């Protein structure tokens, strides 16, 4: 039953989306949209924890919604919402923040990593520290039983669990304590210029990521200049051949051809031929999404309506949880 398996998930509108966001997140939600009740957020409150420009944020929020739809999320099945349009997220985050020890936030790996980057640039803002509290609010508001995440987010979901348990112990059963479901099978796409780093929207190197809206010329160019490993074999071995393995994953995911079959068909062939075929597979694989994206860009009003309706639907669920929290903690 759909209602028993609600999932909240989101992407930060912090830039143009890339094939990593598609293969690692959106494609997984599409697989689940018939069996689960998916709330697909565009998490703009999270996006502003790193430096942003207002016009770009507005545009990226709309573009992210268009990518969700173009990739195949069906607004009749999935709730598409903008996080800042549901004020319950900020209100619950504030309340939960008053019950979260500072030490627990300071030891989060993501805070340490992003904090180091921030310290070198603009300084560390409190919002970066509080990011996992807002994420706990995102999850707990919707009473989700299971949170499918990649390894990098596991620690944040564990924190959400302990925040929920602490609240429930103090005020009585209020939140569903969510179980972590590690998504080992979902693809983790690495940077084309450094296979040790994940592909990322905010990477400074423009050639590191294939954006979902990239033109064929840009895709060919990026794949041509993608780093490879020493040795000539085209084989999947993430430890010995991280770069080629990453290219094989991308090839397989976007063409639907199993990695084994690709290894066999490129046995003895040169990197150049492999890369050239990979580029064509990526171009073909993204074609339907890009065609729909072009259509949606011409009908922004319809997208705004979907977001408004979705945010209202999400707010109805979130406000129910928030009302119970407000009552329990003693707000008049």
Which helix (H) or strand (E) segment holds residue 213: the answer is: none
Q: How far apart are CA 284 and CA 288, in angstroms?
A: 8
Residue 213 in the binding site for ligand AQP (CB under 6 A): no
CA 147 to chain centre: 13
Shortest separation between residue 76's beta carbon and ligand AQP, angstroms:
23
Q: Cα 8–28–11 angle (5° rounding)? A: 50
Identify the CA nearest to 274 among candidates 318, 205, 228. Answer: 228
DSSP state of 81: E
Q: Does 81 bind ligand AQP (CB under 6 A)?
A: no
The residue within the footprint of ligand AQP, chosen from 7, 11, 283, 318 (CB under 6 A), is: 11
Print the binding letters for residues 169-198 with ligand AQP: x by CB under 6 A, - otherwise.
------------------xxx--------x
Q: Between 48 and 145, name the residue whose CB sits nearer to ligand AQP.
A: 48
Q: What is the CA radius of gyration of the chain?
A: 21
Torsion angles phi and psi, residue 119, rounded to 5: -60, -35
CB-nearer residue toward ligand AQP: 10 or 310:
10
19 vs 95, beta carbon nearer ligand AQP: 19
Q: Does 82 bind ligand AQP (CB under 6 A)?
A: no
Active site residues: 114, 198, 201
The footprint of ligand AQP on residues 98-157 (CB under 6 A) is 150
Would you say 40 and 78 are in contact if contact means Cβ atoms under 8 Å apart? yes
Cβ-based nearer residue to ligand AQP, 84 or 325? 84
The C-alpha atoms of residue 53 and residue 15 are separated, in whole angstroms, by 10
Which region, judged by CB under 6 A, interacts with ligand AQP, from 168-176, 200-208, 224-232, 293-301? 200-208
**Nearest approach, Cβ of residue 294 and ligand AQP (Å):** 23
Q: Which stretch binds ligand AQP (CB under 6 A): 10-18, 69-77, 82-90, 278-286?
A: 10-18
The dihedrals phi and psi of 129, each to the nearest 5 degrees, come to: -65, -40
Q: Give CA separation, 95 vs 42, 84, 211, 229, in Å.
A: 22, 17, 37, 50
What part of residues 19-38 is at the interface with ligand AQP (CB under 6 A)? 20-21, 24-25
- The Cα–Cα gap between 140 and 22 comes to 25
Instruction: Give the separation between CA 310 and CA 279, rounded to whole angstroms.
Output: 36
Smallest distance from ligand AQP to CB 46, Å: 7
Q: How many CB atoms lie within 10 A of CB 332?
A: 3
Among 199, 210, 247, 282, binds ligand AQP (CB under 6 A): 199
Cβ 147 to ligand AQP shortest distance, Å: 11
Beta strands in the chain (DSSP E): 6-11, 37-42, 79-82, 146-149, 179-182
Total Cβ atoms within 10 A of residue 192: 23
Out of 12, 36, 161, 222, point to the residue binding ligand AQP (CB under 6 A). Answer: 12
- Distance from CA of residue 330 to its chain's centroid? 35
299 contacts ligand AQP (rule: CB under 6 A): no
Residue nearest to ligand AQP (CB): 24
Stretch that binds ligand AQP, among 13-21, 126-134, 171-179, 220-228 (CB under 6 A): 13-21
Position 60 contacts ligand AQP (CB under 6 A): no
| Contact footprint for ligand AQP (CB under 6 A) | 11-12, 14-15, 20-21, 24-25, 150, 187-189, 198-202
């Amino acid at each position: 039953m759909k209602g028993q398996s609600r999932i909240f998930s989101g992407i930060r509108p912090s830039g143009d989306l890339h094939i990593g966001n598609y293969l690692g997140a959106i494609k997984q939600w599409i697989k689940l949209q018939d069996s689960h009740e998916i709330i697909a957020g565009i998490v703009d409150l999270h996006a502003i924890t790193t430096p942003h420009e207002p016009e770009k944020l507005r545009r990226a929020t709309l573009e992210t919604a268009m990518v969700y739809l173009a990739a195949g999320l069906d607004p009749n099945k999935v709730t598409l919402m903008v996080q800042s349009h549901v004020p319950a997220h900020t209100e619950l985050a504030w309340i939960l923040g008053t019950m979260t020890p500072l030490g627990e936030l300071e030891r989060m790996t993501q805070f340490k990593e992003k904090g180091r980057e921030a310290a070198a640039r603009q300084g560390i803002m409190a919002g970066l520290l509080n990011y996992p509290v807002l994420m706990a609010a995102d999850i707990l508001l919707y009473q989700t039983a299971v949170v499918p995440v990649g390894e990098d987010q596991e620690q944040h979901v564990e924190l959400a669990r302990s925040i929920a348990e602490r609240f429930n112990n103090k005020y009585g059963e209020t939140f569903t304590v969510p179980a972590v479901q590690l998504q080992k099978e979902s693809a983790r796409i690495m940077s084309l210029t450094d296979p040790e780093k994940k592909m990322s929207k905010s990477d400074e190197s423009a050639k590191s990521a294939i954006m979902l809206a990239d033109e064929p010329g840009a895709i060919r160019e990026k794949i041509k200049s993608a780093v490879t490993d020493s040795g000539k074999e085209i084989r999947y071995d993430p430890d010995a051949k991280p770069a080629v393995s990453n290219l094989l994953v991308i090839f397989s995911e976007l063409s639907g051809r199993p990695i084994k079959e690709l290894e066999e068909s490129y046995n003895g062939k040169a990197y150049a031929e492999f890369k050239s075929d990979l580029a064509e597979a990526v171009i073909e694989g993204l074609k339907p999404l890009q065609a729909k994206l072009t259509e949606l860009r011409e009908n922004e009003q319809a997208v705004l309506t979907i977001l408004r309706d979705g945010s209202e639907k999400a707010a109805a669920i979130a406000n129910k949880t928030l009302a119970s929290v407000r009552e329990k903690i003693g707000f008049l």
